[in-house]
A and B are shown apart, each in its own frame.
Chain A
């Protein structure tokens, strides 16, 4: 079936460092979503991307919709302790198709 791969699986970084993570698929998607999950909570939407090549920012977070439509990238600048959590990418082929989630990237920030 369809599958999304996320890398890295986990990251341990120093506060203030920039973070980069990516999500790849063997299938083409028309929507890419990035969610963050904090311990004991449900995922919360960070950024939604709807067009190939699109670059969208949300504060210190920037996400890009890959040109091939088979990948997406998330960058976090100047990380802070509250950035800790699991970051999920999700893809959707059409508006009425199911959303597929990646396995997540776990981020730890060392103060």
Chain B
């Protein structure tokens, strides 16, 4: 099993550019989410999904959009990148019955906005 796969692993964007961070899982998990990790701040929830067709905002949703058209995929879109979005982004998935309890994380995407 591949688990949770994130692409790309590294990305540099110019301010104002848009891009999509991809996340796919092959464990048939209902719950998927996106976190950003900044030094000294742990992991902060951006958006999450409890199943295909359902998404909701986390702690820091501004500047990001998500969609969940299939169980397997949960892409994160930056419509107009800003330097404040420079961070490491993690996608996570977990079994049904709990939002990210015992979640499996991807390897992360390191994003730099210049």
Contacts and interface: CB of A to CB of B under 8 A. Distances in A.
Contact of A43 (B45, B90, B97): B90
* Most chain B beta carbons < 10 A, residue from A1, A88, A101: A101
Contact of B105 (A31, A44, A102, A104): A44
B102 A103 contact: no
B75 interface: no
Interface of A: 1, 4, 31, 33, 40-45, 48, 88, 90, 92, 95-99, 101-104
Contacts of A104: 42
Q: Which 4 A-B pairs have the closest CB atoms?
A: A42-B105, A101-B42, A101-B43, A95-B98
Given A42-B90, A42-B108, A95 B97 contact: yes
B105 A99 contact: no
Which of A33, A42, A43 neighbours the largest number of chain B CB atoms within 10 Å of its CB?
A42
Nearest to A31: B101
Interface of B: 4, 35, 40-45, 48, 58-59, 90, 92, 97-108
Given A43-B90, A98-B59, A48 B42 contact: no
By secondary structure, the B interface counts as loop
Nearest to B9: A40
A65 B92 CA distance: 24
Given A31-B98, A33-B101, 10 more contacts: A4-B42, A31-B101, A40-B107, A41-B107, A43-B43, A90-B43, A96-B99, A98-B59, A99-B101, A102-B42
A103 B97 contact: no
Contacts of A48: 101-102
A79 B103 CA distance: 25
A33 B99 contact: no
